[in-house]
Structures are given as C-alpha cells and as structure tokens.
C-alpha cells in the first residue's frame, strides 16, 4: 500500500502513521508528502524521516487549488506510484480531477464526530456548542466538505475546564490511534463501502 500524504500544518498525524509503519503495525509505505504551505512543519518532518517531499504553491484561491496546480499534484502522486491519498491536516478542498484520478482512494481525518462540526476548528465549534462529547473521524473524501463515508470514529469527552487548545490536544491523541487503525483495515482489504456506509469485514 503506497501512500501519499497531503498536509498543511504540523504533521503529527503523518508522524503517527510513520511510526505505525516503522513498528510493523501498518503494512504500508509513505512514498511522498506534499504541502501547500512552504514552511509547514510536516515538510521538515518528512525531510528528517527521509521521505520525498514537495511544496506545491496553491495558487490564487484560498480554499481550493487552481486546476493546473491540482494537475501538478496528481502528476507528482502518480509519478511516485501513490495508490492512496491520505489527507493529514490538509486545509484545502479537492476538486473533480482529483476524484477522477483517485476515486474512492482518498482518506481524511477530521477532529469531530462527523456529521457534527464540519469545517474549520471543529474542536472550537464543539466547545462553543457546549457539546459534552466530541471526537475524531476517519472518512473517505468526496466532493463535499467533510461528507464522505465514515470508516472509524473515536469519542473524546469535553471537560469543564477545557480550552480549545487542551481539547484539540486530547483529540489529536485519539487521532494518532485512529488513523493508523483505519489504514490498517484498508491495507488488510477489510473495508467495504456500501453507499454511505462502510462495513468492516472480519477477514479480506
Ligand atoms: C488535525 O487535528 C486534523 O484532524 C485537522 O487538522 C489537524 C492537523 O494536525 N484537520 C482538519 O481540521 C481538516 N478539516 P497535524 O498537522 O498535526 O496532523
């Protein structure tokens, strides 16, 4: 299972996946890391781990990529033999060409129990809504915003004394368990997508 990772930020989920692979818990290979943010720590982490990495400037749009740049992403991913695209803190919405090239093979991790709190700063949204429980979700990516079929979720309690920062930190701990677990199920061929529902099989 050859993975390409897209990230815009710190890259702690990338690191969690890298560690799971190193420990032999996940049979996969990270073959490329791409960021739309030149100074994103995820690129420095890729460099330290000796994984090929690339900064691709995003172009003039704020939330998505220019079509020609999206083509550059696809080209780079295909050139590195990427089979699965794993979004790890990637803050842009992907468009049509991406889905044609990697249909059903794009995953994301989101810091809420979807379908609650889609979009930006989901941990802050949970606090502001007064939720007592939130969590994280690994899901397939479709053309909507955080709308694709859900693979796995983990619940995290919201504590009275939580700030956005403390809640996000606890959510990230859960994310670092959940993402490798979800990818392991995929690597083992145990995931079956039936419409909006994802069934986990006991054996391939
Ligand atoms: C993670 O908490 C991830 O769930 C979130 O960004 C953070 C990236 O952290 N993603 C989104 O909000 C996407 N909608 P990381 O760079 O340390 O992995």
So what's the pLDDT on residue 17?
98
Task: Write the class of the CATH domain 1-103.
Answer: alpha beta
So what's the pLDDT on residue 1?
96
The per-residue pLDDT for range 8-34, each reduced to its tens digit, is: 999 999 999 999 999 999 999 999 999
Closest ligand 1 atom to residue 110 Cα is: 4
Same fold, 1-103 and 108-204: yes
Domain locations in the chain as residue ranges: 1-103, 108-204
- pLDDT at residue 172 tops 90: yes
110 catalytic residue (yes or no): yes
The per-residue pLDDT for range 71-101, each reduced to its tens digit, is: 999 999 999 999 999 999 999 999 888 989 9
So what's the pLDDT on residue 58?
84
What is the DSSP annotation of the chain? -EEEEE-SS--HHHHHHHHHHHTTSS--EEEEEEESSTT-HHHHHHHHTT--EEE----S-SSB--HHHHHHHHHHHHHTT--EEEESS--SB--HHHHHHSTT-EEEEESS-TTSS-SS-HHHHHHHHT-SEEEEEEEE--SSSS-SPEEEEEEEEPPTT--HHHHHHHHHHHHHHHHHHHHHHHHTT-EEEETTEEEEPS--
According to the CATH classification, is domain 108-204 in 3.40.50.170? yes
So what's the pLDDT on residue 20?
98
When the pLDDT of each residue in the chain is averaged and rounded to a whole number, the result is: 96
**Mutation test residue for ligand 1: of 5, 13, 167, the one with most atoms within 8 Å of CB:** 13
């Amino acid at each position: 299972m050859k993975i390409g990772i897209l990230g815009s930020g710190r890259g702690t989920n990338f690191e969690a996946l890298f560690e799971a692979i190193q420990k032999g818990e996940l049979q996969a290979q990270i073959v490329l890391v791409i960021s739309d943010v030149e100074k994103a720590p995820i690129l420095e982490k890729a460099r330290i781990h000796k994984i090929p990495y690339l900064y691709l400037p995003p172009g003039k749009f704020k939330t998505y990529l220019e079509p020609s740049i999206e083509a550059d992403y696809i080209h780079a991913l295909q050139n590195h033999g990427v089979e699965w695209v794993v979004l790890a803190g990637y803050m842009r919405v992907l468009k049509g060409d991406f889905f044609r090239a990697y249909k059903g093979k794009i995953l994301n991790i989101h810091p809420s129990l979807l379908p609650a709190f889609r979009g930006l700063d989901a941990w802050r949204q949970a606090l502001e809504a007064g939720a007592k429980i939130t969590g994280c979700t690994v899901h397939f990516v479709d053309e909507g915003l955080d709308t694709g079929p859900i693979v796995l979720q983990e619940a995290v309690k919201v504590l009275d004394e939580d700030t956005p920062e403390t809640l996000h930190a606890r959510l990230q701990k859960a994310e670092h368990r959940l993402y490798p677990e979800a990818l392991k199920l995929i690597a083992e061929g145990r995931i079956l997508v039936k419409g909006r529902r994802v069934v986990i099989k006991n054996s391939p």
